[in-house]
Amino acid sequence: MSKRHHDNYEMSTRERILKVLSHTSNDFEVFELLEKFADVAQSKNDVMLLVDFLERNQNPIVRHEAAAQLLELARDKPMLMKRVKQKVLEALMKRASDDANVTSRHEAIEVLGYLGDEKAIPVLRPNLNHENEDIRYTARIALDVLQFRLDRKLNASELWKAIVDGRHLGT
C-alpha cells in the first residue's frame, strides 16, 4: 500500500471530506460532499464551514445544500448548533432576505422556519409578498412551522411526531 493510500485509509470519512472541501472548487464535488456533511459533522467548526459555504459560495445550488445541511444538523445534532446559532441565523436571514436565486432563498427560508427562532419572523414576513410564488408559499409554511414550534416549545426533530400524534389539534 502506498503512503498516500495508507494516509487516506487512516483518515476518518469526516477528515477526508474536509480535506477535499478545502482543496476543490469543483461545484459537483462540493455539492456531493456537502450532501454527506451533516452525517459526519462533529464540531462548531463544521457548522461554521457550512455557514461559510452559505455566505460565500457563488453557486446557488451549493448555497441551497449548505442551508439544507444546517437544517439536518438542527434536527439531528442540535448540540453542535448551540454556540454558533446566532451566526447561523444571521447567514440564513441574509440569504432569506436578499438572495436573488429562488432555490437558495427558498431553502434559507425553510430552514429558518424549522430553527424556530422568533428573530426570523421579521425576515420571513416580507417574503409572503415576494413576486415569486414558490418564495411566498415557502414563507407561509416557514412561518407556520416556526409558530408551531414556538407555541409548543418543540425541537425541530419533534415536529413530525407532534403532527402525527395529533398535538396540533390541541389533543
Q: Residue 165 above 50 pLDDT? A: yes
- Segments forming the whole domain that contains residue 14: 3-169
Q: Residue 164 above 80 pLDDT? A: yes
State percent of the chain over pLDDT 90.
78
**Does residue 134 contact residue 106 with C-beta atoms inside 8 Å?**
yes
User: Rg of the chain over CA atoms, in angstroms?
Assistant: 17
- The pLDDT value recorded for residue 167 is 54
- The pLDDT value recorded for residue 160 is 82
- The pLDDT value recorded for residue 6 is 46
Confidence (pTM): 0.87
Q: Residue 73: which CATH number?
A: 1.25.10.10
- Mean pLDDT of the 158-165 span: 84
Give the least confident one: 4-18, 72-86, 95-109, 146-160: 4-18
State percent of the chain over pLDDT 70.
91
Task: Note the pLDDT tens digit of each residue in 52-94.
Answer: 999 999 999 999 999 999 999 999 999 999 999 999 999 999 9
- Burial, 100: exposed, middle or buried (Cβ in 10 Å; 0-12, 13-18, 19+)? exposed
**Does residue 64 contact residue 27 with C-beta atoms inside 8 Å?**
no
- The pLDDT value recorded for residue 134 is 97
- The pLDDT value recorded for residue 4 is 52
- The pLDDT value recorded for residue 171 is 43
162 vs 37, more confident? 37
Q: Domain tally for the chain?
A: 1
- The pLDDT value recorded for residue 154 is 86
DSSP string computed for the chain = --HHHHHHHHS-HHHHHHHHHHH---HHHHHHHHHHHHHH--SHHHHHHHHHHHHH-S-HHHHHHHHHHHHHHHHH-HHHHGGGHHHHHHHHHHHHHH-S-HHHHHHHHHHHHHHT-GGGHHHHGGGGG-SSHHHHHHHHHHHHHHHHHHHHT--GGGHHHHHHTTGGGT-
Q: Residue 2 above 90 pLDDT? A: no
Task: Note the pLDDT tens digit of each residue in 114-136.
Answer: 999 999 999 999 999 999 999 99
